[in-house]
Amino acid sequence: MPEVHFVVVEVADSDGAMGTGFSWTPTVGARAVESLLHHDIAPQALNGPTHPEAVWDRLWGHLHEAGGGGLTTIALAGLDLALWDLLGKRLGTSVVDLLGRRRSVLPAYGSGVNLHYPLDELLDQVRRWIDAGYGGVKIKVGRPELAEDIERVAAVRELIGPRRRLMVDANQRWDLPTARRAARALERFDPHWLEEPLRAEDLEGHVQLRRSSRVPLAVGENLHTLQRFREYIAAGACDIIQPNIVRVGGITPFRRIAALALSGSTGLAPHLLTDLSAQLAATLPGQTEVEEVEDTAFETLGVLATPSPVRRKGAQVIIENAPGLGLEFADLPTFVRRQEKL
């Protein structure tokens, strides 16, 4: 992942109150997202309502001709986040408290982009997570030979011991026969879940794999709509869903997907973007663990002008009070900033 793009979206209401959101695209798609925001979303949103839930469905219907999800929902997230930020600021409260704060401290698990690491570097990374106190760690699998994956998983399991949770993420690298062989080989390491073993579009493949394996399956970072999550849950294709708040279109659809998971007794583990996902996780019933990917905190990436309201302390994240989403983005040369008035 050589590049990560943030497309910052600012909105102003008729009274001059401002809200800020963002769309996020690792590696590809930023220009397409920006174009959708400027040419297709802003003209439809201008002079309309400012409550995000009053805006989202109408705009999603408008964009649907360009695709029900993917670039369209990623672009729509920029406006949705900005409108939630605007609403919180107008009411003088955080989005967390606006939605109903249930807790201010959440557990996190250690995660990283580490498939390319030599084994010694991978183990060094895992040691950092152990030293930080994480109760769970996640590593990548999908090396050219399954034996390499097994060697790495075995070494990590030995290092972390039997009590810490071990998650493995294949990032859609396998076909069904390979995933079946891998799941059988991984069972003895007691993985907490096997993430994205197949292409995200392969619903039937996930159904068959789950039927033939005792390893819990996690999917969802590359599912983009409530409808797709409903299909996966109804088909019995997964044990845990992992919606990415930006990829699904923002806070409005994320909350619907979270409610769907609760109604179907399916686990929920938000994907990435801890500075945003931890805020939403703090409003959900039950104990939701967030993914803390090494070196991806917004402050570490240098994209914020002010401190994030999500603070790190060992294996925990702490949600502090801040108006709206509390994310004020820096003016960086690579950003293309546009301001639209609602």
Token readout for 232 is: 């996966």
Q: What single letter denotes the amino acid at residue 142? A: G
pLDDT at 227 over 70: yes
Q: Which residues contact 1 (CB under 8 A, 6 or more apart)?
A: 26, 27, 113
Which residues does residue 313 pair with via DSSP β-bridges, in sequence order? 316
**How many CB atoms lie under 10 A from the CB of residue 330?**
14
What is d(CA 197, CA 103) in angstroms, rounded to the nearest whole number? 33
In what side-by-side order are the strands of the sheet with 338-341? 18-26, 4-12, 338-341
Q: Which position has the token pair 């292409």?
A: 199
The answer to whether the CB of 205 falls within 8 A of the CB of 174 is: no
pLDDT at 51 over 80: yes
CATH topology of domain 97-319: TIM Barrel (3.20.20)
Q: Which helix (H) or strand (E) holds 316?
A: strand 316-319
Domains in the chain: boundaries: 4-93+328-341, 97-319
Rounded percentage of the chain residues whose pLDDT exceeds 90 = 91
Q: What single letter denotes the amino acid at residue 89? A: K
pLDDT at 323: 97
Local confidence band at 286 (pLDDT 50, 70, 90 cut-offs): confident
Region 158-176: mean pLDDT is 97
Local confidence band at 313 (pLDDT 50, 70, 90 cut-offs): very high
Local confidence band at 295 (pLDDT 50, 70, 90 cut-offs): confident
What is d(CA 192, CA 179) in angstroms, rounded to the nearest whole number? 16
Local confidence band at 342 (pLDDT 50, 70, 90 cut-offs): very low
pLDDT at 337 over 60: no
The answer to whether the CB of 288 falls within 8 A of the CB of 107 is: no
What is d(CA 242, CA 264) in angstroms, rounded to the nearest whole number? 14
Question: Which pTM does this prediction carry?
Answer: 0.94
The answer to whether domain 4-93+328-341 has CATH 1.20.1440.230 is no
What is d(CA 84, CA 86) in angstroms, rounded to the nearest whole number? 5
pLDDT at 334: 52
Which is nearest to 30 in space by CA: 90, 59, 71, 87? 71
Query: Between 52-63 and 71-91, two packed helices, what is the crossing angle to 10 degrees?
Result: 170
Catalytic residues: 140, 271
